[in-house]
Structure 1
Amino acid sequence: MALQLATPVNLINKFSNLEISNYEVEEKSAMPSKQQYKIKPISEVDSEYVLTHLRKFFFKDEPLNIAINLIENENSRCFELEDYSLKCIKSGLSLMAVTPREEIIGVCLNGTLCENDESEDDEECLNAKMAKIFKLLDYSGEEGTKAVLKKYPEVKKSILVKILSTDSAWRGQGVARKLLDRTRDIGREQGYSLMRVDCTSYFSARAIAKLGFECVYELNYDDYKENGKPVFTTQYPHKSFTVYIQKIR
């Protein structure tokens, strides 16, 4: 992959005891019990629980996955996608929102982009559909990085939000915002000067823009072609891959 994830030393241990409780006041709910949750770091022992959440609320709804029918039915799995999603947990920067019953209602899978990161050659993806997605992410990720550096050439390292997902029953209650807020805090604490979010979804991009992030790169899916034809025919209103950034230091 073009976006390489650095691994800060001892980050997982440093944040292992971190818990941030939150009582939502932004919007009233008919079910007060749903207003209570906490933000916690994700460790590798949480991997299967995170995957369970992603299979239910992210993989099947992601526009590129839908465009190529990556998840063919309710029982289908894409192990290459699951492995890709879990890679960034090792960085120690990823977060989850959990209820008092320890049910995951949101995840924010984060990594880093650093100036001196060494490029790693990925193994060939044998899943032809997933390989198409990887190729797009490689291309658009690299082009996005060029756009970021053109605007902020002094930036040496950025914290990167790779996947942001919320339980559908909790959407609109500020869970994603709290996950992003805590990600920003960790980025500042660890000396990152920029926060970056790569969006494949119109709704994600719109939500990120409302939080004050700036779009520095956009690739229309209709313009991404092979043999003269678009590789991905996405459903409306999802029309482009976008890169959003925010200076945090």
Structure 2
Amino acid sequence: MALQYPSSFQIHQNFEKLTFQYEPQLSVESNPSLSTCSTPSTPGSPIDFEIQIASEDDRERIREFLQNFFYKDEPLNSFLELINEENPRCYDLEKFTLQDLDSGLNLLAVYDGKIIGVCLNGIMQRGKLEEEFVCEDEKFSKIVKLLQHIEEISDPFQKYPGVDKAIVVKILSVDDTYRGRGIAKELMSKTIDLAKGRGCGFCSVDCSSYYTARAAKKLGFELHYTLKYEDYKVDGKSVFDPVAPHKAMTVYTQKIS
């Protein structure tokens, strides 16, 4: 994962649109997608891209992007075969991931009019759990229950006793073609900027992927909680056994100062 800042950028209207020109260095962006498995990619040639705040009007474009670069390859989705030739779409998954697009917290990386990266975020508050998601898809309900379980038992607010509000990164994904150009890093950087403006004290990332966890660590996030998939059981039976190296659900956090 690239750890170099862009050589130049322009800021317009309080981060509603930012233009970057990234000069690739000798670093590698190993996996810029939350909960996806991909191999490291070497930096390519510089490109000018914009970071824009997403809205409900972008729903279909974002859905198509996630269909191509996130939904199928996320380790838990892949293990359950949530998306396959027989069932190319999971509507509960789409509904779950595309909530609150008008919150002003969701970001798009856009190059030549095309979405090449997304970062979907939300706000969490001390002592308040997310509203229960009603799920009809039997397979996806297993993932929702795991996420709810993680939310209940990990409680990152324990680590930050003076903080009552935080931002949580729900999905971070970059087009395969443009990986290695620092796009994920800039999406995360602007997420932190948005969080500061909302009075958030820390940023939290739930990682179902080994690569995501490694990426979070390289960005300066600290491990807060780990649950091995083999230890998560329902009625005495393990629910998930994704392919190696994805062996645990982890929560990483970073203080916002």
TM-score tier, shorter chain, comes to 0.7 to 0.9
Which string of whole-angstrom CA distances, capped at 9 and with x for unpartnered residues, describes residues 12-39 of structure 1?
xxx698211111123388864x622110
Structure-1 residue corresponding to 2:10: none
Structure-2 residue corresponding to 1:114: 125
Which of residues 136, 140, 153 is equivalent to 1:143? 153
Which of residues 166, 171, 183 is equivalent to 1:163? 171
Which string of whole-angstrom CA distances, capped at 9 and with x for unpartnered residues, describes residues 43-62 of structure 1?
00000000000000000110
Report the Cα distance in structure 2 between the residues aligned to 1:75 and 1:229, rounded to whole angstroms.
Answer: 26
Structure-1 residue corresponding to 2:37: none
* Paired residue type of 2:133: D
Report the Cα distance in structure 2 between the residues aligned to 1:30 and 1:211, rounded to whole angstroms.
Answer: 17
TM-score by length of 2: 0.84
- Residues 88, 109 of structure 1: 8 Å contact kept: no
Structure-2 residue corresponding to 1:26: 24
Is 1:234–2:251 an aligned residue pair? no
- Aligned-partner SS, 1:216: strand
Which of residues 210, 214, 227 is equivalent to 2:222? 214
Runs (5+) with no aligned partner, structure 1? 1-14
What root-mean-square deviation, in Å, do the aligned CA atoms of Structure 1 and Structure 2 show?
A: 2.1
Higher helix share: 1
- Residues 213, 245 of structure 1: 8 Å contact kept: yes
Q: Which aligned pairs between 1:54-203 and structure 2 lie closer than 5 A?
A: 54-73=66-85, 76-99=88-111, 101-115=112-126, 117=128, 120-123=131-134, 125-145=135-155, 148-203=156-211
* Paired residue type of 1:245: T
Which string of whole-angstrom CA distances, capped at 9 and with x for unpartnered residues, describes residues 117-147 of structure 1?
4753433x221001100000000122221xx
Structure 1 residues 18 and 170: CA distance shift in structure 2, 3 A: same
List structure 1 segments (4+ residues) > 4 angstroms apart after TM superposition: 28-31, 116-119
Structure-2 residue corresponding to 1:10: none
Is 1:50–2:50 an aligned residue pair? no
Structure 1 residues 174 and 119: CA distance shift in structure 2, 3 A: closer
Superposed displacement of residue 72, structure 1: 1.8
Which string of whole-angstrom CA distances, capped at 9 and with x for unpartnered residues, describes residues 48-79 of structure 1?
00000000000011000011111122861000
- Percent identical among aligned pairs is 43
Report the Cα distance in structure 2 between the residues aligned to 1:231 and 1:57, rounded to whole angstroms.
Answer: 24
Superposed displacement of residue 114, structure 1: 1.3
Superposed displacement of residue 106, structure 1: 0.4
Report the Cα distance in structure 2 between the residues aligned to 1:17 and 1:188, rounded to whole angstroms.
Answer: 12
